[in-house]
Amino acid sequence: MLEINGLVKRYGDFTLDCTMHVEKGRITGLIGQNGAGKSTAFKAVLGLISTDGGTIRIFGKEQGELTVKDRQKIGVVFADSGFSGYLTVSDIVPVLANLYTDFDKAFFLKQAKRFELPLRKKIKEFSTGMKAKLKVLTATASHAKLLLLDEPTVGLDVVARDELLELLREFMEEDEENAILISSHISSDLESLCDDLYMIHSGKIVLHEDTDVLLSDYGLLKVDERQYAGLDRQYLMRVRRGPYGYDCLTNQKRYYMENYPGIAVEKGSIDEVITMMIRGDEV
Amino acid sequence: MKGLLIKDFRLMKVQKSFFILMFAVGIGQALLSEDASSAIGFPTFIVSLFAISSISYDEFDNGNAFLFSLPITRSGYVAEKYCFGIILGGGVWALSSAVIAIVSIARNTAPVMELLVSTASILPIMLILLAVMIPVQLKFGGEKSRVALLVAYGCIVVLGLAVTKAAEMLDVDLFAMLDRLPVMSLGAVIGCAVLIALLALAVSMGISLAVIKRKQF
């Protein structure tokens, strides 16, 4: 569905250098701190910025060869950009109807009612949650095949976030070939939603893993100096020295639980995995 | 393009009271003033420039990133801005011309020929105004475009002064030269003006396309 190979974009000292794939029928997450390069990657995929190297293919075509018809199959959400705040929901209905041949007006209005979005109020007067819901609704109302969602949940409370994630699940149920690339710096959003996750740091992809594997096989070993000295290190990914010993990130948690029953093994949450991948030393 | 046009027309609602005021001023001028060209020109120029304002509205709050991720092309966006300006300017021009014509006929005052000349001369000026303003706005954005236009105006004034001074130094009478040019009929002058305006629009559109294609959002 989406293939990014060796994409390079330079901004002064910052360099984005990433390779990512989004498969049909899957929700792929892109997680990283603010400024890690998530939005730059999205903008490159959408042709909003020039690139310094690499290739981007969407629906099997080079990014630059996409037609307007192809682009109608891509729904986009940016956290910091959307329709003019001076427009109302009623205003954007005919705009979308004329931009997308498959715009589903009835679905759009039904969902707008479900999310209690006022039709005649200016968007700039909406709450953060209402704006976010409108953006996702706009992206999903035209039977898109691929959603590119850059931080769609930023600034939302728990209830609004759940409603929005529910809308995304419904989008995936609509067609088994639909796919989503979603970015966030909040791991809990992605943990429950994504099939696989890319972790990005300082413009580089530091890890790609299936979410199930990440949650079941990754772990954090808490060992002291003596335990660390006797530890088989072939399944350790990162090591970080702490005040009482070492924290070791592994992707073979069970191996250490079975062979080193004396050491403490913690479940590897996404936040811990990210912290270790960024702050830890390679073994 | 239709979707973008609808968006821009819907955005015009924001300045609804301004346009109502413009309409009132236009009607007032038509009824009270003897000067047909200002009664037609003023609302035509002001309203057509909303095409420029619409570019600012698009840029506001980083809106372009989202706008250009919609199923539109960069060239389609540029074409829409010119269409929007021409529809607005042309529409108001036709409307105000019709009002002036009705008022003149009712009063039985202005000679038909003078009215036609006044009306026809506004259109190429409006087109040239759009031809200058749209690429400047696309290139420099809301704030910088004002500075860019002032600089351009300054350059034209300096160039004019330089030409006059040079003519004085070389002892050339520019007005006499102009007088010696072959006399053209009024229709031909207006025809030439429209042709020049259309040419300016074509060049302007080429520049705007080059500007928008290099833009990063």
- Stretch B105-125: mean pLDDT: 76
> Closest residue of A to B5, CA-based?
A95
- Say whether pLDDT at B196 is over 80: yes
Q: Which residue of B has its CA nearest to A138?
A: B70
Which residue of A66, A89, A95 is the best one to mutate when testing the B interface, meaning the one whose CB has the most B CBs within 10 A?
A95
Q: Comparing C-alpha atoms, which of B97, B133, B132, B122 is closest to residue B41?
A: B122
Of B3, B66, B217, the CB nearest to A49: B217
End-to-end CA distance of chain B, in Å? Answer: 20
Nearest CA to A108 out of A86, A90, A121 is that of: A90
Cα of B38 to nearest chain A Cα, Å: 32
Look at residue B1 in the predicted model and tell me its pLDDT. 85
Note the CATH number of domain A2-210.
Answer: 3.40.50.300
Could B3 and A48 be called an inter-chain contact, meaning their C-beta atoms sit closer than 8 Å? no
Q: Which residues of B touch A80 (CB under 8 A)?
A: 61-62, 65
CA A155 – CA A128 distance, rounded (Å): 7
A interface mutation test: which of B5, B8, B10 has the most A CBs within 10 A? B10
Q: Which residues of A touch B12 (CB under 8 A)?
A: none
What integer pLDDT is reported at residue B180 of this predicted model? 67
Whether the pLDDT of residue B136 is over 80: the answer is yes
Q: Given this model, what pLDDT does residue B156 score? A: 75
Return the beta strands (E) in chain B as ranges. Answer: none
Nearest CA in chain A to B75: A68
Task: Tell me which chain A residue has its CA closest to the CA of residue B2.
Answer: A98
Nearest CA-CA partner of A203 in A19, A18, A54: A18
- What is the pLDDT averaged over residues B117-143? 86
Per-chain mean pLDDT for chain B? 84
The C-alpha of A193 sits at a distance from chain B's nearest C-alpha, in angstroms, of 24
Q: If chain A, 283 residues long, is cut into consecutive pieces of 10 residues, what is the mean pLDDT of each piece?
A: 94 93 96 90 95 94 93 95 94 96 94 93 92 93 95 86 89 93 87 92 92 91 88 90 89 90 86 88 85
Residue A199 burial by CB count (10 A; 0-12/13-18/19+): exposed, middle or buried?
buried
CA of B117: how far to CAs of A57, B36, B124, B126, B187, in Å? 57, 10, 12, 15, 9
What pLDDT shows up at residue B110?
59
Is the alpha carbon torsion for A221, A227, A232, A238 positive or negative?
Answer: positive
A271/chain B closest Cα distance in angstroms: 30
Q: Answer whether A255's CB lies under 8 Å from A247's CB.
A: no
| Gap from B73 CA to chain A (nearest CA, Å) | 7
Is B184 exposed, middle or buried (CB count within 10 Å of its CB: 0-12, 13-18, 19+)?
A: exposed
User: To the nearest 10°, the Cα dihedral for A187, A188, A190, A192?
Assistant: 150
- Averaged pLDDT for residues B166-178: 77
Q: List Cα–Cα distances, A266 to A213, A230, A238, A277, in angstroms.
A: 15, 19, 15, 16
- Percentage, residues of chain B above pLDDT 70: 92
- A248 with A234: CB under 8 angstroms? no
Lowest mean pLDDT among A15-19, B3-7, B100-104, B134-138: B100-104
Please compute Rg for chain B using Cα positions.
20
Pairing verdict, β A146-150 and A179-184? parallel
In chain A, residues under CATH classification 3.40.50.300 are 2-210
User: Interface pTM (ipTM) of the complex?
Assistant: 0.86
Q: What is the pLDDT at residue A81?
A: 92
CB-facing half-sphere around the CA of A15: CA atoms within 13 A: 7
DSSP-assigned letter for residue B154:
H
CB-CB under 8 Å, B63 with A76? no
Asked whether residue B50 carries a pLDDT value surpassing 90, the answer given is: no
pLDDT at B13: 85
At residue B9, does pLDDT exceed 90? yes
Mean pLDDT, residues B125-154 = 83
> B86 is written with which tokens?
């021409």
Judged by CB atoms closer than 8 Å, whether chains meet at B11 and A43 is answered as no
Residue pair B115/B101 in contact (Cβ under 8 Å)? The answer is yes
Q: Domain ranges for chain B, please list them.
A: 2-214
Q: HSE (CB half, 13 Å, CA atoms) of B46?
A: 16
* Closest listed residue to residue B28, CA positions, set B14, B12, B18, B42: B42
